[in-house]
């Protein structure tokens, strides 16, 4: 089984408590928006009917939000579901995947008989122009990119991303561009989503998720945007016919209309992200400048920081399960000021009482 963040259940079972502060999952600490709660409650009476297999209302709402045609949107049971459906629909033979990055790309590809080659990002884990040579020389028909990347939080330079997409189009390589954490970068100059340019690339699907920003991972709601309407329909038909529940659909429609919640969170994120980043740096860790709602850091020589933190009821994402990383790397979500301060205090206690190495 793949290891992911957010497994509070195992931690609670081990600690014999329901009190766990979860820094392992990159979820908005504001919690579920009131508008979404209201929409879910209002949709309960609709549960006597099957969900709409075409997600008409949801795709229309997402289309208006992103300014794309609803026929260019495919919805799924979380972003991971869309990944697996896409791979089944495209059926690639040889794929190029970054390392380190989200594990579900490779898992979906390998489960469908695709050969996976990893392209290791050079320190400090950024995509460089060298990937263009790899695409030019390799016989790939699929490329998976994550921007900002998970778990490193690093971004692909806009000019380079354009070059990659242009070359992939020329070489007939299908590109999965995961922008699930893009919403966290909107305050940064020069960083633009590729959604409005997606019409130029029929070989591109942009992956989005509502899990992180709107704090609804338990509902499972993700979607893809692709200008190839025929492929979108083919992706929709892969897997079971009702991937989006009625409650998830109504929640998604309400979420995209809640501009106040979104604006308040992004303002909060800028402040708390810097606070946590500075705090981790002050402890002497090697910390990557964050571009999402999580912070990637390395503690050289320390391979069990997650276990040590668990005694303080803090759940941290250990990154040794990512291809290209060892047990010295960790990822921490940005949470409330109170939680972030507690997290830093726990780290200081570990350093002062026991030492890290």
What class is the 34-257 domain? alpha beta
What single DSSP character describes residue 280? H
Mean pLDDT on 91-116? 98
The CATH fold of domain 8-23+260-353: 3.90.1150
Bridge-based pairing state of the strands 94-99 and 115-120: parallel
Is the model's pLDDT at 5 over the cut of 90? no
Is the model's pLDDT at 189 over the cut of 80? no
Mean pLDDT on 335-347? 98
pLDDT at 356: 66
pLDDT at 14: 85
Is the model's pLDDT at 8 over the cut of 90? no
Bridge-based pairing state of the strands 294-298 and 286-287: antiparallel
Nearest CA among 84, 38, 28 for reference residue 217: 28
**Number of alpha carbons in the 13 Å side-chain half-sphere of residue 23:** 33
Rounding to the nearest 10 degrees, give the CA dihedral for residues 128, 134, 140, 145.
-10
| Listed range (8-12, 124-128, 238-242, 284-288) with the worst mean pLDDT | 8-12
Nearest CA among 250, 188, 184, 176 for reference residue 212: 184
**Number of alpha carbons in the 13 Å side-chain half-sphere of residue 267:** 6
Cβ(240)–Cβ(281) below 8 Å: no
What single DSSP character describes residue 72? G
Structure tokens at 332: 């921490």
Mean pLDDT on 307-330? 96
Is the model's pLDDT at 310 over the cut of 60? yes
Instruction: Report percent pLDDT > 90 for the chain.
Output: 89
pLDDT at 66: 96
**pLDDT tens string 26-52:** 999 999 999 999 999 999 999 999 999
pLDDT at 162: 96
Nearest CA among 146, 156, 139 for reference residue 106: 146
Give me the DSSP letters along 200-246.
G-TTEEEEEESTTTTT-TTT--EEEE-S-HHHHHHHHHSS-S--S-H
Task: Please state the φ and ψ torsions of residue 27, each to the nearest 5 degrees.
Answer: -115, 140
Banded model confidence at residue 215, pLDDT cuts 50, 70, 90:
very high
**Domain locations along the chain:** 8-23+260-353, 34-257
The mean pLDDT value of the chain amounts to 95
Prediction pTM value: 0.96
Is the model's pLDDT at 264 over the cut of 80? yes
Is the model's pLDDT at 1 over the cut of 50? no
86 CB contacts (<8 Å, ≥6 apart)? Answer: 108, 176, 205, 224, 235
- Dist. CA 94–CA 142, nearest whole Å: 7
Is the model's pLDDT at 224 over the cut of 90? yes
């Amino acid at each position: 089984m793949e290891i992911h963040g957010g497994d509070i259940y195992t931690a609670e079972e081990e600690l014999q408590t329901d009190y766990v502060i979860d820094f392992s999952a990159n979820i908005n600490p504001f919690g579920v928006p009131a508008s979404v709660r209201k929409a879910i409650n209002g949709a309960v009476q609709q549960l006597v009917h099957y969900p709409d297999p075409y997600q008409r209302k949801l795709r229309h709402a997402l289309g208006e939000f992103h300014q794309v045609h609803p026929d260019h949107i495919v919805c799924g049971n979380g972003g991971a579901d869309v990944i697996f459906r896409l791979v089944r629909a495209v059926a690639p033979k040889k794929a190029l995947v970054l390392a380190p990055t989200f594990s579900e790309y490779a898992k979906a590809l390998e489960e469908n008989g695709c050969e996976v080659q990893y392209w290791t990002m050079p320190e400090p884990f950024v995509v460089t122009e060298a990937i263009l040579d790899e695409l030019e020389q390799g016989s790939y028909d699929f490329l998976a990119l994550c921007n900002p990347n998970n778990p490193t939080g690093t971004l692909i330079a806009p000019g380079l991303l354009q070059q990659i997409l242009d070359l992939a189009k020329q070489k007939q390589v299908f590109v999965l561009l995961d922008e699930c954490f893009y919403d966290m970068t909107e305050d940064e100059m020069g960083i633009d989503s590729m959604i409005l340019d997606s019409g130029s690339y029929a070989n591109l699907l942009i992956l989005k998720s509502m899990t992180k920003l709107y704090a609804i991972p338990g509902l499972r709601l993700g979607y893809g945007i692709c200008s190839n309407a025929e492929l979108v329909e083919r992706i929709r038909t892969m897997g079971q016919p009702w991937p989006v529940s009625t409650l998830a659909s109504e929640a998604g429609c309400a979420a995209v209309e809640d501009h106040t919640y979104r604006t308040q969170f992004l303002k909060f994120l800028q402040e708390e992200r810097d606070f946590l980043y500075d705090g981790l740096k002050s402890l002497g860790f090697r910390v990557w400048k964050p571009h999402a709602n999580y912070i990637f850091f390395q503690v050289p020589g320390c391979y069990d920081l997650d276990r040590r933190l668990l005694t303080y009821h803090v759940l941290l994402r250990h990154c040794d399960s990512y291809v290209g990383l060892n047990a010295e790397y960790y990822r921490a979500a940005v949470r409330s000021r109170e939680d972030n301060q507690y997290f830093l205090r726990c780290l200081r206690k570990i350093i002062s009482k026991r030492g890290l190495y």
